[in-house]
Amino acid sequence: MSDGSGFPGFHSHSYDQDYACPLFRVASFSDSGDEQENHVPSPQVRSHSTSRTASSKAVTPSRFSPSVSRPSMKKMQQVIDEKSMEEEEMELMKEKYAKLLLGEDMSGSGKGVCTAVAISNSITNLYATVFGTCHRLEPLSPEKRSMWNREMDCLLSICEYIVEFSPTVQTMPDGSTHDVMATSPRSDILVNLPALEKLETMLLGILDSFHKPEFWYEDKRNQSFNESKKSFQRSEDKWWLPEPCVPDSGLSDCMHRELQQKRDQASQIHKMAMEINSSILSEMQVPLSYLETLPKSGRAGVGDAIYRYMSSGDQFSPEHLLNFLNLSSEHEALEIADRVEAAMYVWRRKAGTTHVVSKWENVTELNADGDKNLILASRARSLLLCLKQRFPGLSQTTLDTSKIQYNKDIGQAILESYSRVLESLAHNIVSWIDGILIADENARKGHKTRMQKQVFSQISPQR
């Protein structure tokens, strides 16, 4: 497993190798429905998006007309170009759906991944294509927004056909009643999908709000050595990212308050997306291949030091345990998370031999009935939650990647991948705002120092 992915919460593994070169690299989906004429771009709202191309009803001027103006010729050429672009997009859409149905196996021999994994990959790769090169706090370009809206519209439309049946009584026109099976959206999709769409709208709204900011960006690679020393100092492992710049006196108080409000909003969205993602992953079935690799005992999995801390005393504080471990990098945090999660399932398996538990998330120390395995499993889960909150950009654990890889539920695959990419986008927005706030703080300190020196030079006695 490699943790070198550029996207928080993502892991490179066998079914999704390269975010920079997505398997489904397509410029766009063409919209469904009436797309033959009167195409007007509306990338703001997916559910009301219309076609993009211009009207094809342009009247061709007669070849025998005395003169054909230059604007008319340009208009004709524009209509021809738009028609060819529409045909090209249709071919790309056919290719994309073919790859989706083949499970990414171009040989057609049936050795491709299942549909759930293929859809999860397509959402992940679409996010990498649209947002993978975004490193600035600014609105999305119209082309990228249009691509994101159209393709997500097509991928999320699958949820409209994932339903559950329930018995109901239907009254006929003659007054008689009949027992029929009515359909309704599946409960997890009905609850989570509208919430995720709302979070997406809020995140894109945050980016749209910075169309005329007081800050700007400069490419560090184009700066000279002296200029780079004066700019905001960024960690050397991210030298390729653009540097946020602010005026010499810093940002205005209004802009500073707006940035802080947007940061708090994006942070809350990140927590909500992470919570939805965790709940979907917890509902996924644990693969048998993962269970076969579990250690024989939970103590052997977490190590003696962590086990003694978790098993001693009635009061357990995951924050104190993390402070004791003093994790300095996300790599170390991910290693601890893998070990704790494996031990948690060992303790759950042992507790399952004596207790019938319908939902492990509802098990706490208060209702563990003194069972040591139940208590340890509950403490391990609280430690994992605390670890993910302390490291919001933590990559997926081994169990999470195994669940996604072997999952066959299409509804869960869509909700998991959708919440994961929104979690990543929210984390990036928080990071971008933090970079601007740090640059503003440095500028304010420099301006204050310069003002103090100026005042001191004025009141100092002249020699």
**What's the Cα-to-Cα distance from 279 to each of 89, 117, 270, 345, rounded to whole Å?**
37, 18, 14, 16
What beta strand segments (E) does 208-266 contain? 216-218, 243-245
DSSP 261-311: HHHHHHHHHHHHHHHHHHHHHHHSPPPHHHHTT--SSHHHHH-HHHHHHHH
Q: How many angstroms separate the CA atoms of 319 and 340, rounded? A: 15
CB atoms near residue 223 (< 10 Å):
14
Q: What are phi and psi of 184, to 5 degrees?
A: -150, 155
**What's the Cα-to-Cα distance from 365 to each of 299, 344, 376, 383, rounded to whole Å?**
19, 14, 9, 13
Determine the Cα angle at 361 with ends 355 and 362, to 5°. 65
Per-residue b/e over 132-161, b at no fewer than 16 CB within 10 Å? eebbbbbbbeeebbbbbbbbbebbbeebee
**Domains detected in the chain:** 286-406 (1.20.58.1310)
- Residue 96's pLDDT is 76
Q: How many angstroms separate the CA atoms of 348 and 373, rounded? A: 7
Low-confidence ranges of the chain (pLDDT < 50): 1-68, 224-233, 356, 365-369, 463
H helices within 371-409, ranges in order?
Answer: 372-390, 398-406
Per-residue b/e over 384-393, b at no fewer than 16 CB within 10 Å? beebbeebbb
At position 266, the amino acid (one-letter code) is A
Helices 410-459 and 115-131: angle between axes, nearest 10 degrees = 20
Six-digit token string for 56: 């094809």
Q: How many angstroms separate the CA atoms of 206 and 426, rounded? A: 10
- Residue 156's pLDDT is 93
State the first-to-last Cα distance of the chain, in angstroms, to the nearest integer: 70
- Residue 339's pLDDT is 93
CB atoms near residue 239 (< 10 Å):
11
Distance of CA 313 to the CA centre of its chain: 39
Closest CA to 30 of 92, 98, 82: 92
Closest CA to 75 of 93, 55, 89: 55
Closest CA to 134 of 235, 294, 9, 241: 241
- Residue 71's pLDDT is 63
**248-255 contacts, C-beta under 8 A, 24 or more apart:** 248/443, 248/446, 248/447, 249/443, 249/444, 249/447, 250/440, 250/441, 250/443, 250/444, 250/447, 251/214, 251/215, 251/436, 251/440, 251/443, 252/214, 255/213, 255/214, 255/215
Q: Which residues pair with 218 in a beta bridge?
A: 243
- Residue 79's pLDDT is 72
Task: Return the half-sphere exposure (C-beta side, CA atoms, 13 A cut-off) of residue 353.
Answer: 6
Q: How would you classify the pairing of strands 216-218 and 243-245?
A: antiparallel
Residues 6+ apart with CB under 8 A from 61: 68, 72, 76
